[in-house]
Structure 1
Amino acid sequence: MGVVPAETLITVAPTGAETDKSDAPALPVTLDELVATAKACEAAGAGLIHVHIRDADARPTLDLGRLTDTVQALREGTDLVVQLSTGGAVTDPFEHRLRVLDADPDSCSLTCGTVNFGSDVFMNPWDFMVELYRKTQALEVVPEFELFDLGHVAALNRLLDKEGLPYGGKVHCDLVLGVPGGAPGTTESVVTMARMLPEGATWSATGVGRSTMPVALAALSAGGHLRVGMEDTLTYAPGRPVRDNAELVERAAELSRLALRVPMTVEGARAMLNIKDRRTGVAA
């Protein structure tokens, strides 16, 4: 798992594709709400934002025009690394998910295998993974490899072996744990999956629902980074809903400091991931 870093990259995933606004009024679903959330989370210590968007009726969408406007607005309003989800909702067709990269994000998610998602199935067959990966390389977008289970880590290693390193040369992963159908949100899952990652890879971990705190603490102790946000967590403590996304980032920052690690700056995040700086058109 390597040396424990001195800084923690905090990723915020503020919206997701599963929760209805009516069930979580603080969920940012409009562009204005998303930009305001991004600003607050950047101030609280986030370095990267993982973005799902909604349409005018607050339903998940992969509309390219809306995605492009979102990327532009986030770049104008913050310095955060902008990462678009290529997962969308479980019902989105592959061609729409591939098209996400045409919105010119800094980064994108790339899920390394199919997984049961509650009563649904999140489809990520091998040929789609390869096509998406090759497109990230061609468009100079840095992928974040989303790993929901042990088999996904094996698929990641196979992908890198066959297709080479991602744009920028850095491998960064996110262990998404606690999804019904995937690996459980436990210390054992964090440690086992982290040990299977390619040598030199950096990684964050996401604990869904009740696994948020156990996964965060395990990740910090094992040398990983953190992803938090209302995409994955709607309850701050038993019986107490999350106030907003910034509250979750604030807690992640405090946990990082307790672990004697400071929240990573945005520029630190850009350097760690070797993001192409689309603000100026030159590599970081």
Structure 2
Amino acid sequence: MTGLFITVAPTGAESTKAHNPGIPLQPDEIVAQAVACEAAGAGLIHIHGRDPAGESTLDLAVLREIVDGVREQTDLVVQLSTGGSVRDGFDARRRVLELQPESCSLTCGTVNFGTEVFHNPLSFIEELYLETIARGIVPEFECFDLGHVTTLNRLLDTHGAPATGVVHCNLVMGVPGGMAGDARTMIAALGALPAGASWSATGIGRAHVPVMLAALAMGGSLRVGMEDVLRFSASELVRDNAQLVERAAQLAALAQADILTPDEVRVRLGLG
């Protein structure tokens, strides 16, 4: 299937309303923005949870409330983060799969996050991958560095293809400590991906728009959202996640790329 899809990541583990008042933290806020993002062109939603105080949580009750709301009010493909925050343990991260999302993130290596470290040893990566296969969940292989792409290939060589037979990778670019958010680095990463892999790209902060433009030029899908960027421009805060999806859809239209609906995303990922 030709065309691209837009993933929205409405909230991550760190940013708060003090950073940007438009970021959704509670389940009802996240679901409301999911509805607006689907209308703007998103096909898949990447979900993190926050507790009542706004802190990152992997509490299954919180995540279930978000997932149920998204499923009731939208047709978006539901993807849960197994990354949580840099402070979450491996068992809590793995338990997210008990909610049986259609997709989940699967980070392919340890990476420095500014002054903190996001731990992903190979043993955990393999355990998580094998559980996605057993549960029929589509992993989105998150690659923050070129070495992570090497690990992805090693994982497939050792354990075989995902449950649906589709390999989908997201290149996370511009994280301090990870790979640069520029076209040269993207080309290098794409050259190392498994043949025929589906892929998208995420630019963090100032890399957001350059990475989107490079991905469009090379035929990739896009991930946007307030998990990754809080400023729409140097002088303007992001209004809400729908504003970021709208811009991605406008750029895709300029690139004459068709935007996949949620059900078409399911077909692309082997879920259809």
Q: Give the whole-Å Cα distance in 2 for the aligned partners of 1:120 and 1:243.
A: 28
Q: Does 1:38 align with 2:34?
A: yes
- The alpha carbon displacement at 1:15 in A equals 0.3
Q: 2:20 matched to which residue of 1?
A: 24
Q: 1:7 matched to which residue of 2?
A: 3
Q: 1:204 matched to which residue of 2?
A: 200
- The alpha carbon displacement at 1:264 in A equals 1.1
Q: 2:212 matched to which residue of 1?
A: 216
Q: 1:226 matched to which residue of 2?
A: 222
Show the 5 A alignment for 1:1-284: 6-275=2-271, 284=272
Query: How large is the RMSD of aligned CA atoms in angstroms?
Result: 0.9
With the length of structure 2 as denominator, give the TM-score of the two structures: 0.98
Q: Give the whole-Å Cα distance in 2 for the aligned partners of 1:261 and 1:73.
A: 30
Cα shift readout 1:10-48 (whole Å, capped 9, x = no counterpart): 000010011012221111111110111000000000000
With the length of structure 1 as denominator, give the TM-score of the two structures: 0.94
- The alpha carbon displacement at 1:193 in A equals 0.3
- 8 Å CA contact 1:71–1:104 kept in 2: the answer is no
Q: What SS is found at the alignment partner of 1:109?
A: strand
- The alpha carbon displacement at 1:237 in A equals 1.0
- The alpha carbon displacement at 1:6 in A equals 4.1
Structure 2 unaligned blocks of 5 or more? none
Q: Give the whole-Å Cα distance in 2 for the aligned partners of 1:6 and 1:108.
A: 23
Q: What SS is found at the alignment partner of 2:201?
A: strand
Q: Give the whole-Å Cα distance in 2 for the aligned partners of 1:96 and 1:267.
A: 30
- The alpha carbon displacement at 1:60 in A equals 0.3
Cα shift readout 1:86-117 (whole Å, capped 9, x = no counterpart): 00000000000000000111100000000000
Q: Which letter does structure 1 place at the counterpart of 2:249?
A: A
Structure 1 unaligned blocks of 5 or more? 276-283
- 8 Å CA contact 2:42–2:245 kept in 1: the answer is yes
Q: What SS is found at the alignment partner of 1:200?
A: coil
Q: Which letter does structure 1 place at the counterpart of 2:96?
A: V
Q: Which letter does structure 1 place at the counterpart of 2:269?
A: L
- 8 Å CA contact 1:68–1:104 kept in 2: the answer is no
Q: What SS is found at the alignment partner of 1:206?
A: strand
- 8 Å CA contact 1:54–1:61 kept in 2: the answer is yes
Q: What SS is found at the alignment partner of 2:206?
A: helix
Q: Give the whole-Å Cα distance in 1 for the aligned partners of 2:20 and 2:255.
A: 31
Q: What SS is found at the alignment partner of 1:167?
A: coil
Q: Which letter does structure 2 place at the counterpart of 1:51?
A: I
Q: Which letter does structure 2 place at the counterpart of 1:203?
A: W
Q: Which letter does structure 2 place at the counterpart of 1:103?
A: L
Q: Give the whole-Å Cα distance in 2 for the aligned partners of 1:218 and 1:56.
A: 38
- 8 Å CA contact 2:28–2:66 kept in 1: the answer is no
Q: What SS is found at the alignment partner of 1:7?
A: coil
Q: Give the whole-Å Cα distance in 2 for the aligned partners of 1:27 and 1:269.
A: 25
Q: Give the whole-Å Cα distance in 2 for the aligned partners of 1:89 and 1:163.
A: 27
